[in-house]
Amino acid sequence: MRTVFDPADLSTGRFYRLLTATIVPRPIAWVSTVSADGVANVAPYSFFTVASTSPPVVQFTSVGRKDSLRNIEETGEFVINVASVPLMDQVNASSAAFSHDVDEFAAVGLRSEPSERVRPPRVARSPASIECVLHRVIEVGDCFVVMGDVLAITVRTDVLAGDGAPDFGLLAPASRLGRAEWGLTPQVREIERPAL
Ligand SMILES: Cc1cc2nc3c(=O)[nH]c(=O)nc-3n(C[C@H](O)[C@H](O)[C@H](O)COP(=O)(O)O)c2cc1C
């Protein structure tokens, strides 16, 4: 037996709850930006993934027009910081609807540090950050898909494994589930891809 949910029969809010409790776990892009006036902003976005590998392009989705999107449209730059488990409370705090002129790093007690290639600062305690310039914004329904060309990924050296990529356990990314639920670092099992 299955229950069938048709978006035509449900309110937007009800279907949103279904989508976000079904498509889980979602990694969290902790997006830092600056406004044209230089005010820093940081906010979490869990509708986040890779758009292209070569050239490397990443994307996140703004449901409606929010300050992060506005800043990116103004400056053409953003940074996606990994939202790690030890930082979860500050990630959540940064999702409050602060007014546009509030420095959200200061508002949530978060230390920033300069990025390597772009003006928006990165979250100092985040284990890895992806520095982007705006590729394009695509409007889809009530959302805006923001794509960024990756200029650099910076990884704290202590979370790098021997192969030069982040170790999952040390990176310890938090994830977003449905409702008010968050995922902690899950267990890992290695499986090799089948050879033809
Ligand atoms: C873990 C988490 C994930 C979120 N993911 C999204 C998302 O994918 N898209 C979105 O529009 N809002 C998302 N939100 C809500 C935004 O963070 C919130 O609206 C925030 O105020 C936006 O900040 P800004 O206006 O400074 O950009 C999320 C909130 C949390 C706590």
pLDDT, one tens digit per residue, over 35-49 is: 999 999 999 999 999
In ligand 1, the atom with minimum distance to the C-alpha of 70 is 27
How confident is the model over 150-172, as a mean pLDDT?
A: 98
User: 3-state class of 193 per DSSP?
Assistant: coil
pLDDT at residue 179, rounded to an integer: 97
User: What single-letter amino acid sits at 117?
Assistant: R
Residue 45 CA, ligand 1 centroid: distance in Å: 5
Ligand 1 atom closest to the Cα of residue 96 is 21
**According to the model, what pLDDT value does residue 189 have?**
96
Pocket residues: Cβ below 6 A from ligand 1: 28, 41, 43-47, 61-63, 66-68, 92, 95, 97, 176
The pLDDT score that the predictor gives to residue 185 is 87
Pocket test for ligand 1, best of 17, 46, 105 (most atoms within 8 A of CB): 46
| Overall average pLDDT of the 20-38 stretch | 98
Report the phi/psi class of residue 62: left, alpha or beta, with left for phi > 0 and alpha for psi in -120 to 50.
beta
Q: What's the confidence (pLDDT) of residue 122? A: 98
Concatenated DSSP letters of 35-82: -TT--EEEEEE-SEEEEEETTEEEEEEEES--HHHHHHHHHSEEEEEE
The predicted model scores a pTM of 0.98
**Residue of the nearest CA to atom 5 in ligand 1?**
45
Just give the CATH number of 28-177.
Answer: 2.30.110.10
Q: How far is the CA of 43 from the centre of ligand 1 (A)?
A: 6
- Do 128 and 40 form a contact (C-beta atoms < 8 A)? no
Q: How far, rounded to the nearest angstrom, does the alpha carbon of residue 54 sit from its chain's CA centroid?
A: 20
Domain ranges of the chain: 28-177
Q: Which band of pLDDT confidence, cut at 50, 70 and 90, is reported for residue 81?
A: very high
Indicate the top mutation candidate among 95, 103, 139 to test ligand 1's pocket, ranked by most ligand atoms within 8 A of CB: 95
Tell me the C-alpha distance between 169 and 150, whole Å: 24
Helix/strand/coil for 144: strand
